[in-house]
Amino acid sequence: MMAFTDEQLESFNRDGYLLWEGLFDAEEMDLLIRIARNDQRLAQEALERSDAHAGKSRLWITDSLEDDIYSAFVRCCRIVEPMEEILGGEVYHYHHKMMLKEPLVGGSWEWHQDYGYWYSNGCLFPYMASCLIAVDTATKENGCLQVIRGSHLMGRIEHGKTGQQTGADQARVDEALKYLDLVHCEMKPGSALFFHANLLHRSDANRSPNPRWSLICCYNAARNPCQPKPNHPAYSHLEKWPDTRIKEIGRQQLCC
């Protein structure tokens, strides 16, 4: 069983996030990045979202699980079992997305909580969390994720439109930054960031010559009622797969 230590779980509950370095190995990440870079679905179906300064970020999102490498990550025990610890029981797949922050043109993501808008989907409780896997090296220069440590304990903050995005009340964010630490989550490929749905987070635009792609797997507690909406489903049993399926499926996809 892949599980948090007591110290890791205590850290997550205190800070609202936990960075697990090297959760996935070099071959798993090589398979993911090679498949993703050549995936025409990502190129054709990715959505564009403008930030408050008209910078554009792209993402591909789905709640469908298939026999592909993305779904193998979503289902793998290395993510699902720690999620079950975080959320206190059975979890299910809410959706997963590839964040495609391109060199020099990738826009910023404004401060927000995921539950800030998942709340509007009729999710009754914030028993929700995500795991961000770094596909490329994430640095301050290429717009790595930023979080406000401990902000999940503030509860849900009011959200509204910021450009084409949903952003948290900036006055409340500014107040939080007076008392809580701002953390830049610089990550190497294969590292994973588990974070609570009420954690405030954002990212800067990518002004570097290097891409910053990431895969984010999002989960809801099975006991948390949610109304189904496109890419935001109600409960469906999640079949966990052995971690070995990532390499098995990845190799198959590259051969086809």
Distances (CA, A) of 76 to 7, 93, 99, 173, 239: 22, 11, 20, 34, 9
Which residues, 6+ apart, have CB-to-CB distance to 86 below 8 Å?
A: 4, 9, 12, 129, 194, 196
Render 169-210 in DSSP notation, one character per residue. Answer: -HHHHHHHHHHS-EEEE-B-TT-EEEEETT--EEE----SSS
> In 3-state terms, what secondary structure has residue 65?
coil
Task: Look up the CATH number of the domain holding residue 148.
Answer: 2.60.120.620
Nearest to 235 by CA among 221, 249, 217, 214: 221
Res. 153: pLDDT tops 90: yes
Contact 165, 108 (CB under 8 A): no
- Domain-embedded: residue 1: no
* Whole-angstrom distance, CA of residue 199 vs CA of residue 129: 9
- Mean pLDDT, the chain, rounded, equals 93
Instruction: Examine residue 142 and state whether it is found in any structural domain, yes or no.
Output: yes
99 and 57 in contact (C-beta within 8 Å)? Answer: yes
In a domain, 193, yes or no: yes
In b/e form, how buried is each residue of 221-237, taking b as 16+ CB within 10 angstroms? bbebebeeeeebbbbee
In the chain, the number of structural domains is 1
pLDDT digits (tens, 9 = 90+) for 182-214: 999 999 999 999 999 999 999 998 989 999 999
Distance CA 67, CA 143 (A): 31
Site of tokens 């699902």? 80
In a domain, 87, yes or no: yes
What predicted TM-score, i.e. pTM, was given to this entire model? 0.95
Q: Which domain holds residue 228?
A: 6-255
pLDDT (tens digit per residue) in 23-68: 999 999 999 999 999 999 998 998 877 666 556 778 999 999 999 9
